Structure formats: C-alpha cells, structure tokens
Amino acid sequence: MAIVKAKINGIDVEVASGATILEAAKKIGVHIPTLCHLNLEGFGIVNKVASCRACVVEVEGRMALAPSCAEKITEGMVVRTDSLRAITGRRMAIELLLSNHPQDCLVCPKNLECELQALSQEMGVREIKWIGEKMDYPIDKTTASLVKDPNKCIMCRRCETMCNEVQTVGVLSGINRGFDAVVGPAFNLDMEHTACTFCGQCVAVCPTGALTEINDVGKVWRALNDETKHVVVQVAPAIRVAIGELFGMEPGTVTTGQLASSLRRLGFDAIFDTDFAADLTIMEEASELVHRIEHGGKLPMLTSCCPAWVKFFEHQFPDMLDIPSSCKSPQIMMGSMVKTYYAKKMGLDPENVVMVSIMPCLAKKAEAARPELAKDDLNNVDLVLSTREYGAMLHEAGVQFDVLPEGDFDQLLGESTGAAVIFGTTGGVIEAAARTAYEWLTGEELEKVEFSQLRGLEGIRSASVMIKDFELNIGIAHGLGNARKLLEDIRDGKSHFHAIEIMACPGGCIGGGGQPYHHGDIEIIKKRQEAIYAEDRSKVRRKSHENEALKSLYSEFLGEPYGSTAHELLHTRYVAREKI
C-alpha cells in the first residue's frame, strides 16, 4: 500500500494513500471537531456527505477551507487545523447552523446528548450573531415509535446514510431546496405512511433532536399511581449490559440484579425478566424448526423476534411471508402469558393489568400496537419504554442505580437460562435454538453448549452445526441491508441454509435504537456483547428446555410445545404491506 507524507500543524505524518486529513490528524493526536461525520468502522458505516463544515481546516496554497472528514491527504500537503482562519471558519459554520435552529435546549429530548450543543460549547459559541427567518415545519408524531422534528434537522444526512445504505429501507432522503431543505420521506409524508421499519437507527445516529423516540414515561408514571391497575414490567436481555452507561458505569457492566432492585423501588406490582419469554420463544421456535426439518416444511426458516425485521420483510418481500417462523417475539409472548396464565393465577381481570416493557428497540413500541398481536381486543403489551426512557425515570425518582443492591425477579415468569440471555446479541437467538434443537433431534445431551462459529460481528455470517449425521446450515445477518442480501439469495434459489437469524440493528439488540447513545464507538458494542456471553456462562442452566418454570407453564397451561394452545397464544401471522 502506498504511503503519503504530509505535515499537520508542523508535525510530520505518514498515512496510507486515500486517508483523509481527519484520519491523519487523529493518528498524531490532533483533534478536529466533527458533526456530520460518522464512522462506525466495525460495521462498515461511514457518512461521507461533508455537509456541516464543522471540521474545516486550512490547506497551504488554497483559498477555500477544506472539510477534513472528506479531503484526502496528498503528498507534501501542509495543513493547519489551529490557525485563526480555520478556527473562525469552524465557529462560523456552527453559528450559521444555530441561526436556523430552535432554542429550546432545556426541554429538548436530546439535551446534554446533542452533538450540536456539545460542539457549540467546544467552539466557544456564546451568541447567535445572525437572526432571521427560521424553518417552521409541523412535528411528526404519527407513529408509536418515532418523533420527527424537521426544524432541528441540520442536513448532516447521517439518518439518510443509515436508512438507505445500511438498512436499505429507503425512506429518508434530502427534500426541498435551499433554506427549506430537510431530510425526510418523499413528499414529506408522515412516517406512518411510509415503509419505515421503526428500527430507530436513524435516531441512534441523529446528532440533534430532529429524530427521537415517542416518550411514554408519563404514561408509565400514571399507571403506577393508578390504584385500580396491576402494573407488570418485563426487561429485555440487552438492557442489563447497557443501562449502567446512563449512570457512569463502564460499558458492558452487567446490572441484572440492580435492574430488579430498581423496578421494585419504582413500585411495579410484578417484575419479570424477558429472558423467561426468550426461553419460551426457543421452545416454540426450535419445535417449529424441528417440525419443518422432519416433515419437509419450508426452509430456510427465519427467526421472527425482531419487529423491525418483520416489518422490513412485510414491505420489501411480501411474496415470502411463509418463510419466517410464526413465533411472536419474546416481548409479546411475555405479555400474552401475563394477561392469561399470570392473570388467572393471581385472580386478576386482564383489563386491569398494565403490561410495561423495557426494551432496547424503538420498533417494540410499534410492535405492541399491532392488531395481529392482540387477544380479545386487548394488547398483550400496553406500554414500551426504551432503555434511555427507563434511565430517565430512575433519574427523575432519584434512584442511584449504580449503588443499588442486587435483587431478584419474580419467579413465576422470571426464571431463565443462559440461552435466553444471548438473545441480546447477533447470533444469540439461533445459538439458543441450536442448543435445544440438537438435543431434541439426537436425544443426546449437548456437552459443549457454546457454538463459537455462530458468534462475531461480521454483517453476514454462516456456520454449520453437526447434529449426528445431519449438517444444519445456519445463516446470520444483522443490519437490514445484510438481511436483504440473504432474502434475495432465497428468492433466487441460491440459499443453502436451513435456518437464518436476522436482527435489524448493527450488533443486534445491544445496538438497538433505544439503547444509550454509543456515538459510533464500536468498542462499546463489543463490550456489551462480551458481557452478554459472560452472563450466559454464569447461569446454572444454559438450555431453554431446562427451564423449570417453563416446564410448569407447559404442564399447567400450554400443553405441548407447538401445540394448539401454544399456536393460539404464541404464534402470529404476517401482513403484506405497500413499499412506499
């Protein structure tokens, strides 16, 4: 590879040909502020728009300042990042953005997480010098998941990169011209009328409050203070390795016990671990996979735990609705069991039971409202909080999460195995299913429960698991763009897989759109994943079918896995949707 030599702030630097000024500066410890730039190198996600001009630098011999995130280093280039001209240019870029930006920082959902706000502080912006007309677009709150406020859009195009290049959903793009330019759906349609999957990755990368989640904290507080309601809560696997970041704890810190304690502090009537429902999902999903293999059913079978992925294939591949598993997600399975089995056990009227979920995913909010997942006109899940929203509730209540003693979840629907924990990361669902399917297909005990060949962070992975003389071929994809490639192979008859796991978000649920913002730091995702596997190893039972509480649920209530009662309560159907 060719090496290029240059000078930055008088310091000699050598970089590979094709490197940008920004990359070269980082190599020698020179900080250049950025805003529109986004580089999630571990996932191959790079925003190359260079629209904000917050990173401009002075290049010797040029009249115009150069955007360091896009300008490539050339042989002999002399760069100044610290000249008065460069600093003034960067400050002016921020001031111009602020001149057309709402001044509601104190009540903005992104307050203290806003990169424009942080950059204004870094650049010493203390006044807005240019006052004039501002955009006045209506705020879109039409979905159960997302809020889109075009007035806070700075045209960085990060969300567009995520939606089009990474997720290949194709909903967001630059619309209008000049002063009125914003990023949004074609014709500035409301989000509910588009093919948006509500994965929330646009929210995860938006540097301002232009894209945020629908906030349900107030509704949860009201439910908790309504004496006529019995409020039940469940917590997803990925929450326990991320929520600590909101309280100054290291990424990847496992906080299962603190989560249980915090939920009791807030006054929930029953607290359950969604891990139980993940084990339940495996009982149904593994049964379905074994049934398809043994009875010549449709293969490959695709997992169906991720609601953003489900909505993606309903819009993009409506001719293939018979391929995914018919299993509901763990969130909905838990809600179903709470409003049937648990309500009956406790002598409760399901209409007076409020099921609250704490999820890493904004699509879970929309999933809870799907009519296909309701029973007797009652939603199985009533309210969904993101990890960030639950963290905000704890801050409001003055709960010092990082010093809480460890507590326990209720056991009726709370016991879980290591197989359930790994649902939180890419590859985890199919590994959990393989652990159970192996024993069911062979009748032998699986001694080595970790399938290392199914693990990693590559966007598309494949592996084989030998089950006696049968080779089970498994595909794994995270990120909807990668999912598209696997689906196109299936459609074209090129797929050799028996089972495929899909997760919409890069990294899986640990990188969900409702998790603490990682600001493009791939190391945070890696630490969360490592913590998930550590939690699995700490469990006494590591196969879903070994869950004793689950055995009781089947013997007392559900009957056989994949049986008639299980189908009624734990399985669903899919809907062909327009590709808009």
The confidence score (pLDDT) of residue 41 equals 66
Residue 158: name the closest of 42, 43, 35, 23 by CA.
Answer: 35
Q: Which residues pair with 211 in a beta bridge?
A: 148
pLDDT (tens digit per residue) in 364-418: 999 999 999 988 889 999 999 999 999 999 999 999 999 999 999 998 898 999 9
Q: Find out whether the peptide bond into 251 is cis, omega within 30 degrees of 0.
A: no
Residue 464: its H or E element: strand 460-467
As a whole number of angstroms, the distance between CA 548 and CA 3 comes to 61
The confidence score (pLDDT) of residue 540 equals 93
Residues 60-70: what's their mean pLDDT?
95
Q: Supply the DSSP symbol for 510.
A: G
| Residue 578: band (very low, low, confident or very high) from pLDDT cuts 50, 70, 90 | confident
The confidence score (pLDDT) of residue 125 equals 94
pLDDT (tens digit per residue) in 338-367: 999 999 999 999 999 999 999 999 999 999
Residue 309: name the closest of 162, 180, 182, 198 by CA.
Answer: 198
Strands 211-213 and 383-386: unpaired
Q: Which residues pair with 272 in a beta bridge?
A: 234
Residue 215: name the closest of 552, 571, 439, 514 by CA.
Answer: 514
As a whole number of angstroms, the distance between CA 101 and CA 505 comes to 29
Q: Are 3 and 15 a contacting pair, CB within 8 Å?
A: yes
As a whole number of angstroms, the distance between CA 74 and CA 19 comes to 9
As a whole number of angstroms, the distance between CA 505 and CA 510 comes to 8
Strands 66-67 and 56-59: antiparallel
Torsion angle of alpha carbons 202, 205, 207, 211, nearest 10°? 20
- Number of H-type helices and E-type strands within the chain: 19, 19
Look-up of token digits 């859009």: 153
The confidence score (pLDDT) of residue 47 equals 78
| Residue 44: band (very low, low, confident or very high) from pLDDT cuts 50, 70, 90 | low
Euclidean distance between the first and final Cα of the chain, in Å?
44
Residue 409: name the closest of 568, 224, 301, 270 by CA.
Answer: 270
Residue 553: name the closest of 290, 289, 236, 276 by CA.
Answer: 276
Q: Are 160 and 36 a contacting pair, CB within 8 Å?
A: no
pLDDT at 46 over 80: no
Q: Which residues are catalytic?
A: 285, 288, 305, 325, 364, 367, 372, 509
Q: Are 499 and 476 a contacting pair, CB within 8 Å?
A: no
Burial of 294 (0-12, 13-18, 19+ CB in 10 A): exposed
Amino acid identity at 526: K
Q: Are 328 and 373 a contacting pair, CB within 8 Å?
A: yes
What domains can you pick out in the chain, each with its CATH number?
3-99 (3.10.20.740), 144-213 (3.30.70.20), 218-570 (3.40.50.1780)
The confidence score (pLDDT) of residue 42 equals 65
Q: Supply the DSSP symbol for 351.
A: G
As a whole number of angstroms, the distance between CA 369 and CA 372 comes to 9
Q: Which residues contact 566 (CB under 8 A, 6 or more apart)?
A: 284, 558, 559, 560
pLDDT at 40 over 80: no
Look-up of token digits 């004793």: 548
As a whole number of angstroms, the distance between CA 318 and CA 138 comes to 32
pLDDT at 557 over 90: yes
Q: DSSP string spanning 193-248?
A: GS------HHHHH-SSTTEEEPP-HHHHHHHHT-TT-EEEEEE-GGGGGTGGGGGT
pLDDT at 65 over 80: yes
As a whole number of angstroms, the distance between CA 221 and CA 266 comes to 9
Torsion angle of alpha carbons 281, 283, 289, 294, nearest 10°? -160
Determine the 3-state secondary structure of 429 from DSSP.
Answer: helix
| Residue 467: band (very low, low, confident or very high) from pLDDT cuts 50, 70, 90 | confident
Burial of 84 (0-12, 13-18, 19+ CB in 10 A): exposed
As a whole number of angstroms, the distance between CA 460 and CA 40 comes to 16
pLDDT (tens digit per residue) in 181-208: 999 999 999 999 999 999 999 999 999 9
Angle at 273 between CA 346 and CA 520, to 5 degrees: 150
Phi and psi dihedrals of 221, rounded to 5? -60, -45
As a whole number of angstroms, the distance between CA 479 and CA 230 comes to 37
The confidence score (pLDDT) of residue 25 equals 97
As a whole number of angstroms, the distance between CA 400 and CA 251 comes to 17
Q: Which residues pair with 377 in a beta bridge?
A: none
Q: Which residues contact 449 (CB under 8 A, 6 or more apart)?
A: 418, 419, 435, 542, 543
